Structure 1
Amino acid sequence: MPLLKLGDKRYYLGIFFKANWYKAAQYCRYHGMHLAGIEQEKENRFLEQHIQEAGLGHEHFWTSGTDQGEEGSFFWMSNGIPVTFTNWNAGEPNNFE
């Protein structure tokens, strides 16, 4: 898939292999990227639309959101900004690896 552009951000959606959050982050860093930090509703809608159009709506994608520093206090690992926009499914986040 080509890079998707929204503002000054670039996104790459890949499903080459199944990986936990750590392996996905490692793969991104190896290729000079970060797991995404989704900071706005507009950004979320943009990504959801492209995921659906690519026929990947049944897949799961990792973001860089984490609370590793303090349980329950989430930030985007990609840029260190606290998570303020959330669009989590019921039961999320669930510490799934």
Structure 2
Amino acid sequence: MEKKTTIYSEHTSKYLTVLCRHFARKVDAEWDEVSGNVAFPMGEVEMRADPSRSALTIYCRADGKDKLNAVMAIIESHVHLFARREPIELVWEP
């Protein structure tokens, strides 16, 4: 199963780096300025920044609805943690 969301901000590359660096403390993560991958025990996350559009698209993948919801909840809580200075609403699409 997969769902995605797109964040629009002037700081998308920064969010990608901060999120991946934070997750790398506990799980496998790799990233550069425009893409990142994180492997959680219940699923995985792929992030792609498009600085020309000020967009960061986040793909969450997992085997099963409960696992996918858990991965999405981790992403949501951490995006809100690191985006304190600007309101970001995550709208998940299939």
Q: Calculate the TM-score normalised by the size of structure 2.
A: 0.33
Asked which structure has the greater CA Rg, the reply is 1
Q: Calculate the TM-score normalised by the size of structure 1.
A: 0.32
Whichever structure has more helix as a proportion of its residues is 2
- Bigger RCO (CA 8 Å, 6+ sep): 2
Whichever structure has more strand as a proportion of its residues is 2
